[in-house]
Structure 1
C-alpha cells in the first residue's frame, strides 16, 4: 500500500504539475552549485594509509625525532649520472652544484648531502664549508681520491648513495644520489599535497636545474610526485561526454530527448559535486570514477524511462496515460536498483582506507540523486515537452522504442528465450559448471599496494598531446623518469623503524633495547650477532669511542661490561645531550618516554616477510614497540586491501539480497524473485575476479571496491529484467511474457550497456594507471551483468515458474538436442 501511494504521488506530480517539479529541481540545482567552489583536492598514497597504526607510528617518530628546529622542512632528490661519478670532474661538478644550492637564498636550503661531500671530508676532515670541500677535491690527485673512496666505502650511508655497479677497488660508480633539505615557508607544512610544505619553495626543481653544472656529468632534480587528478578529470569527463552523446543519439534518435538526457546528467553531476563541497569531502583520485558511474546509471534510467514511454505511445495511449503507466513501472524498478546500488556502495564505508570510505558515501548519495532526477525530473520534462509539441510545431524525429521483435537486435535478444524454451536445465548446468570453474580459478588473484599505483607512466600517450595547453600533460613526467632510473640503478636497503614507548630512564631500558637487536631474523642485516641499527645505544657507544670522559661515565654505570649502561641512565642521557653536535634528540624524546630504533633490512625481501620479522623483534622489547617504515606500512595495507574486498563483498551481497527479497515480497508477493535476481550477480562477480587473474590485475587500494561496484551496478540490469517480467507475467503466459521482457527491456539494457561500457571505459585514458584499470574492470562487470541478465535470467525464470508457483510448466532437459535435430517442437513451445 505504501509503495502504491508513493508511486501515485509521483505520477500526480509528474503528470499534473510538471512545471512545478521542474522549478523545484532547478532551484535545488542552484543550491548544490554553491558547493562546487568549496571542493578541495587530495592526492598520493598517504591518503590510503594514514589511519594504519604503523603509519601513525611514523607520524609520531617524525614529530618527536624529525627535527630540532621549530620550522618544517622539505626535501628534493638530486641524481647524478656519469661514466664515473667518483672521478674528480664529476665530484667537482656535484660539489659546485651543492655550493650554489646552499648559497641560493630563494631555495632556503639547510643542507645538501651527497657522496661527493663524504669524499671531500674524508680527504680533509677539517673542510667544513662547501668552498673548503670543493678545494679539498680540487687539490687531490686521482690516487688520493680513490683512497678516500675506499675508506668512505666502510660507511653504509656512503654506499647507499651510489649505484649498484659501485666498485671499491676501482673507485667507480655510474650514478649517485643526494638530498637537498629546505626550510618551508610561513604556513607551509611538511605534508604533501597542493599547497603543502612538500611544494615549497615553489619552482624549486627549475631553480636547482638552473644552478646545475653539466660539464662532466648529468645532474637531475626530482621534486614531488605529479598530481594528475586535475588532468585526468579534464581528459576523462569530456571523452565520456562525447561517447555518451554518441550512444544517446543511437538510443533516442531525437534531439529533444537527447537534450533532456544531457540536462539530467549535468544536474546529477552538479548535485553530486556540490554535495562533495558542502560535506567537506576532499576530491581524491578514487572519486574520479564516481561521475562516469553516475552518468552510466543515469543514462540507463533515462533510456528505460523514455523507451518504456515510447512503447506505450506507439500503442496509441495519450501523453498522460503513457507516462502514468511508465512511471508506475519504472519507478519501482529504479527504487529497487537505487536501494541495492546504495547498499553496494555503502558497504565501502567499512573499508580501512579513508578515500574508499569517501568513495562509498559519495557514490551512494549520487545514486540517490540520480534516482530523484531521472525518476521524477526527466518524466516531468518529457511530459512538458510533448505537450508543447502538440501545441506548437516542434519537430519530432523519432518516437519508436529501441528494439522490437522483428528488428535484428530483437532477434538477438530473443536467443535467451529460445534457450529457455528448449533446454533451460542443460544451459543452467553448463553455466553453473563454468561459474564454479571460474570461481576456483579466481581464488588465485593477487593483492598489492605500491607507490607505483599512484603515479603515471614515464611517457604520456601521443594522443594526449593534441589537447588544449591548459589541460595537456607533459610529454614525459621527469619525476617518474628519475624514479625509474633510481629503481634500475640503486639497490635498496630498506629501513624498519621501531617506535618504542615506555619509561626509558629505568636501569634495564637500554639493556632490553640492546638485547632485542641480538640474533636478528634473516631479512635484517647484521654485523656478527647484532642487527645493523641506529639508536640511542649505538649513539652512546659511538660517543664513548671518541670521548674518554664520557667512556668513563658509561663504564661506571655498566654493570656487565658490555658497553651498554644499565644504571643512572638520566646522567648518561644528560652528558650525551651536552656534547657538541649531539644527535640524542633524533633517537630519544626529551621526556625520556619514547625512542626510535632504525634497522637496516634487505630491500629486495618480500614486505610480508620483513613485517613478520619486524614484529618478532618488537616482541623482544619489554616495553611497547610498534614496527613501522615502508615495508611494514605497505604489507599492512595489502592485508587490509584483501580484508576490505571480502568485507565489502559480503556486506553487499547480504545487504542487497535481503533488500531484494523484502522488495519483491512487498511489491510482488514473491520473495523468491529476489533470490533469482541475485544469481546473475554471483556469476558477474566470479567472472570479474577470474578476468582479473587472467589479465594479471591485482586487487589494490583503488580497485578493491570493484566487487561491491559490480554488485551495485550489475543488479541494475537484473532488476529491470525481473521486474518487467513480473509485470508482464500478470497479463500473459510464461513465454510471451519473457519475449516482451527481453525484447522491450533488453533493447533499453543494450543501449545502457553500450553507454556504460564505453562511458566508463574512458577511464582507461586516465594518467593514473590504477584508475585506468579500474575503469576497465567496471566496464567488464557491466558487460558480464548485461549478458547474464539477458541470456541467463530467462532460463532461471522458467525454472522459477515451475518450482516457485503452482503451475505445471513442462521444463525440457536432456531430450532437447534430439528435438532440435529431428525438428520436433518442445512441449514448452506450445505456449
Structure 2
C-alpha cells in the first residue's frame, strides 16, 4: 500500500511539476522570512543545561546571592615591580568605572586603603620582624628620599653612600644593590627603554613574591547575547584603554584579558575563524562527489535546490518551535545537510537506474517512487525518532537540536518525494546508457556470500575487542581542553592554573552564617586535596598584638622621617644631570669607573633621555614611601572593622556566608579536580562552583546521551518492527548499527580521542545515517535483489557517505580543538558505519530469500 501511495504521489507531482515548485518556493519564502525575522541566537552557555537539576539550583542560588561573581572579565596585570602593577591596574580600573554603559561592576581584589594599611598583618610574625628590621636599617635612605623623592634625591643618596665607601665606613658590596638598580635603569633609558627601579626590593630588602607582581581587575561587562561575542564592546574598550595608557612590556607592564566571558567569546571567535574557507572547500567537495554519484548537472541542481529549500523550511520550523538557537542547536543545519543529501542521492541514483530500464521519463519516475518510497520513509521515520529521543533530556542544547533535526527529517523526506521528482521532470535528465550499479563489486558480493561465516567471525571479534576497550573510553568534562590553547584568554587561564590561589577550578559553599562559614573553613583546610580556603573570617589576621607591636616600634624610628615628605622642590633636567655627574665622579674616585660610564653619558644626554631615566628611577617611589607610612599605621582588624565591600564579597545580604576552596596539586589534571571535588563534597554536599559545575555538567551530558541512546534504540526498533514485521529483519538493521557504534568507540580509544561536549554530537548523526543505510540494503534484500554491493543502492550509499564526510570532514581542520575533535569523530563514525553497512550487513543478509521465505 505504501509503495502505491508513494507512486501516486510522485505521479501527481510530476504531472503538476510547476505547481509543486511554486508551492515549495512559496513555503520556503514564508518560512525563510520567519527564520530571518524571528530566529535568534543566544550564546549564553549557562542555558545549555536545564535549570531544575539539583546542582544547577545550587549554582543559581550562589549566583543570586553573590551576583558580583557571575560573568566576569578578568584583567590580569603583571608588572616588573609591584608598584608598576599597582599603578597600571588602578589606572585601568578607574577608566572602566567611568563606562557604566559597558560595565556593571569593576573591582580590584586585595586593593584599597584596608589592604594598603593592614595587608602586612597577613604575613607571618617572623617575616614582619625581618621587614621592620630592614626598614629601620634603611631609615637614612628613606629619610632623604622622603624629603626629595626624585632622581636628584636618589643620586644624592647614592653620593652619600659612596662618600661612606670613600671614607672606609662602608664597602661597595653593601651598596651594590641600589647602584645596580639605578645603573640598569639609566642604561635602559640611554637605549630608549624604560626599566623601572624595583623600590619594593630596595626598601624592604627582599624580592617580591610572584603574586606581588600581579594584580587583577575584575569587571562585569554588560553582555549582548544576540552577538557571537557577547562582550565584544567591553573587551574592545579594555584593549583601547591599555593602549592609550601605554601599558606595554616596554614600559614594564603586561596586560592580558581572561575570565569566563573572555573564554566564551574567544571560543566562538575561534570556531568561526576559517569557517568561510572550510565551508567553501566542503561545498566544492560535495559538488564533485555528487557529480561522480549522479553524473549530470541536471540531477545535481535538483538535489541542491531540494536541499536548500528543506534547510530553509527547517530553519523556519526552528523559529516557530524554539525561537532562539543555542551554540549546540545551531548544528541542526549540519545534521540536516548530512542526512537529507542522502535522501536526494538515493532518489536520483534509483531514478538513473530506472531510466536505464525504462525509456519514458514519467514512468521511470513513478517506478522510482514505488521502489524508493518505503525505504526512504522508514529511514526518515527511524532517523527522526532517533533525534527526537534527545528531546526529554536535561541537556537543553541537544534537546533543542533533537527537536529541530527530527522535524527536519520529516521535511526532507517529504521534499524528496514531491519537490525533487517535480524538479527532475522539469530538468529532463538524459537517459542512462549503462547499469548504474557498481559492476566491479560483483566478485566482492560473491566472496562475502562464500565467506560470510569468516566475515561475521571477524566482526564478532572486533565487537568483543571494542567492548574491552570501552573501559578506557573517557569523557573529558573539562571545557578548557576544547579551546585553542594559544589564544590570549586561554593561555592566560592556563598560566593562572599553575598557582593554587588563582586556579579557576574553585569550589563555593554557601553556609547559613559567618560562624558556620568559619567552622566549615577550618574543617576543609585539613583535607589533603585542598590548597587554600577563604571565608570572611580569614580576613582577620592571627597574632595581631605581636605584629602590631613590631610595627609600632618601627614607626617610632621611621615615622618622623616620613613626615618630612616632599619638602624639596621638583628638580630640573639640569639638576638631574649635575647630580648624575657628581655620582659618576665619586664612582671614579672609589675605583669603580665601569659603574660611572652610564651616568657620565646621562649627564651629557638630551632632556628626553634624562626625563626617561628619571621616570624609571622614581616610578613607584612615592607610592612605596606612602605604603611604608600606611603599614606603620596598621590598626587592629576585627570582623566589624572589615570594609563593607570586602564583607559583601563573602556575606550575602540575608546573612548567608560563602566559603571559597582552592585545589591542591595540578589543576591541569582532570583526576586532580575529581579528587578535589569528591573530598570537598564529602564534607559539604551542598558545594557548587566551577570545579563542581564542570564535573556535574559532564555527568549530566553523558547521562543524557546514554538515556537518549537507549530511548532512540528502543524507538527505532519499534518502528522497524512495525514496518518490517519480522524480528530477523529488525536485527539485520540494528546489529550493524550497534557494531558501528562499538567500533567507533573502540577506535576513539586507540587514537586517543576522548568524548567531549563538542564531538559527542556526532553520535546522533551516526545513528541517523547508520539506520538509513542499513534499511536500504535490508528492504532491497527482502524485495529479492541480490548482489547488494553491485546494486544502485550501494552506489548511493557509498556516495552519500562520501558527501557527508566531505561536508563534515573539513571540521577536523578547524583551529578550535573541540570542533576539530567533532570532525575527527564524525569521520571515524562515518567510516565505521559504511564499513558495517557494506561488508558486515551483506554477510548477515546471506542469500536472497525465496518467495516462500519472504
TM over 0.5: yes
Partner of 1:715: 771
Gaps of 5+ in 2: 122-145, 158-175, 179-203, 549-637
Bigger share in helix: 2
Quick check: 1:499–1:597 contact (8 Å CA) kept in 2? Answer: yes
Pick aligned residue for 2:306 from 244, 256, 264: 264
Deviations 1:43-66 (A, max 9, x none): 475344563544443332232234
Distance 1:758 1:511, change over 3 A: closer
**Structure-2 separation of matches of 1:251 and 1:775:** 23
Quick check: 1:80–1:175 contact (8 Å CA) kept in 2? Answer: no
Partner of 2:280: 238
Q: Please list, as runs of the form range in 1=range in 2, the aligned pairs for 1:41-120 lying within 5 A after superposition.
A: 41-43=41-43, 45-49=45-49, 51=51, 53-67=54-68, 74-80=72-78, 85-86=80-81, 91-92=83-84, 95-96=87-88, 98-99=90-91, 101-103=93-95, 107=99, 113=108
200-209 or 788-797: bigger deviation: 200-209
Quick check: 1:240–1:292 contact (8 Å CA) kept in 2? Answer: no
Pick aligned residue for 1:704 from 760, 765, 779: 760
Partner of 1:604: 666
Structure 2 residue 644 is the aligned partner of structure 1 residue 581? yes
**Structure-2 separation of matches of 1:103 and 1:805:** 86
Distance 1:309 1:195, change over 3 A: closer
Structure 2 residue 26 is the aligned partner of structure 1 residue 27? yes
Deviations 1:493-549 (A, max 9, x none): 5664444465x5xxxx936861674375634547xxxxx533355468889999x9x
Deviations 1:190-245 (A, max 9, x none): 98965756853653223223313334424123152312354465344333221111
Distance 1:515 1:369, change over 3 A: closer
**Structure-1 separation of matches of 2:88 and 2:778:** 75
Deviations 1:107-148 (A, max 9, x none): 55875638898999369999xxxxxx9x9999999989xxxx
Distance 1:454 1:106, change over 3 A: farther
**Structure-2 separation of matches of 1:454 and 1:66:** 27
SS of 1:443's equivalent in the other structure is: helix
Larger radius of gyration: 2
Pick aligned residue for 1:222 from 257, 277, 299: 257
Partner of 2:584: none
> What is the CA-CA distance between 1:403 and the residue it aligns to?
4.0
Structure 2 residue 476 is the aligned partner of structure 1 residue 439? no
Structure 2 residue 240 is the aligned partner of structure 1 residue 206? yes
Structure 2 residue 519 is the aligned partner of structure 1 residue 510? no
Partner of 2:612: none
> What is the CA-CA distance between 1:179 and the residue it aligns to?
2.4
TM-score for the superposition, normalised by structure 1: 0.72
Quick check: 1:424–1:796 contact (8 Å CA) kept in 2? Answer: yes
Distance 1:452 1:494, change over 3 A: closer
**Structure-2 separation of matches of 1:690 and 1:401:** 41
Quick check: 1:22–1:381 contact (8 Å CA) kept in 2? Answer: yes
Distance 1:577 1:212, change over 3 A: same
Deviations 1:694-731 (A, max 9, x none): 1211111222233332122111111111112222x1xx
**Structure-1 separation of matches of 2:541 and 2:284:** 68
Distance 1:50 1:596, change over 3 A: farther
> What is the CA-CA distance between 1:647 and the residue it aligns to?
1.6
793-802 or 715-724: bigger deviation: 793-802
Partner of 1:754: 802
SS of 1:600's equivalent in the other structure is: strand
> What is the CA-CA distance between 1:682 and the residue it aligns to?
1.3
**Structure-1 separation of matches of 2:516 and 2:455:** 71
Distance 1:488 1:613, change over 3 A: closer
**Structure-2 separation of matches of 1:7 and 1:512:** 70
Pick aligned residue for 2:653 from 590, 595, 610: 590
Partner of 1:632: 692
Quick check: 1:577–1:583 contact (8 Å CA) kept in 2? Answer: no
**Structure-1 separation of matches of 2:94 and 2:244:** 14
Partner of 1:121: 116
Aligned residue-pair number: 680
SS of 1:599's equivalent in the other structure is: strand
Quick check: 2:529–2:663 contact (8 Å CA) kept in 1? Answer: yes
> What is the CA-CA distance between 1:377 and the residue it aligns to?
0.9
**Structure-2 separation of matches of 1:339 and 1:751:** 22
Distance 1:191 1:369, change over 3 A: closer
**Which one scores higher on RCO, CA 8 angstroms, separation ≥ 6?**
2
**Structure-1 separation of matches of 2:274 and 2:324:** 16
**Structure-1 separation of matches of 2:43 and 2:205:** 41
Pick aligned residue for 1:679 from 735, 746, 750: 735
SS of 2:820's equivalent in the other structure is: helix
SS of 2:475's equivalent in the other structure is: coil
> What is the CA-CA distance between 1:319 and the residue it aligns to?
1.8
Quick check: 2:496–2:502 contact (8 Å CA) kept in 1? Answer: no
> What is the CA-CA distance between 1:305 and the residue it aligns to?
0.9
**Structure-1 separation of matches of 2:662 and 2:788:** 69
Partner of 2:709: 649
Q: Please list, as runs of the form range in 1=range in 2, the aligned pairs for 1:133-148 lying within 5 A after superposition.
A: none
Q: Please list, as runs of the form range in 1=range in 2, the aligned pairs for 1:467-546 lying within 5 A after superposition.
A: 477-487=487-497, 492-493=502-503, 496-500=506-510, 510=515, 514=519, 517-518=522-523, 522-525=527-530, 532-538=532-538
Structure 2 residue 484 is the aligned partner of structure 1 residue 456? yes
628-637 or 3-12: bigger deviation: 3-12
SS of 1:348's equivalent in the other structure is: coil
685-694 or 489-498: bigger deviation: 489-498
SS of 2:799's equivalent in the other structure is: helix
SS of 1:761's equivalent in the other structure is: helix
**Structure-2 separation of matches of 1:482 and 1:724:** 58
SS of 2:657's equivalent in the other structure is: strand
> What is the CA-CA distance between 1:420 and the residue it aligns to?
3.6
SS of 2:78's equivalent in the other structure is: strand
> What is the CA-CA distance between 1:478 and the residue it aligns to?
3.5
Distance 1:178 1:193, change over 3 A: farther
418-427 or 225-234: bigger deviation: 225-234
SS of 1:349's equivalent in the other structure is: coil
Quick check: 1:416–1:790 contact (8 Å CA) kept in 2? Answer: no
Q: Please list, as runs of the form range in 1=range in 2, the aligned pairs for 1:402-413 lying within 5 A after superposition.
A: 403-404=436-437, 409-411=438-440, 413=441
**Structure-1 separation of matches of 2:450 and 2:474:** 40
Distance 1:314 1:180, change over 3 A: same
Structure 2 residue 846 is the aligned partner of structure 1 residue 773? no
Partner of 2:617: none
Structure 2 residue 217 is the aligned partner of structure 1 residue 180? yes
Cα RMSD, aligned residues only:
4.2
Distance 1:289 1:111, change over 3 A: closer
Pick aligned residue for 1:310 from 352, 373, 394: 352
Distance 1:302 1:193, change over 3 A: closer
Quick check: 2:497–2:503 contact (8 Å CA) kept in 1? Answer: no
Quick check: 1:447–1:641 contact (8 Å CA) kept in 2? Answer: no
Partner of 1:726: 782
Pick aligned residue for 2:432 from 388, 399, 405: 399
> What is the CA-CA distance between 1:617 and the residue it aligns to?
1.3
**Structure-2 separation of matches of 1:490 and 1:385:** 68
**Structure-1 separation of matches of 2:652 and 2:85:** 39
> What is the CA-CA distance between 1:800 and the residue it aligns to?
8.3
Q: Please list, as runs of the form range in 1=range in 2, the aligned pairs for 1:274-285 lying within 5 A after superposition.
A: 274-285=316-327
> What is the CA-CA distance between 1:678 and the residue it aligns to?
1.2
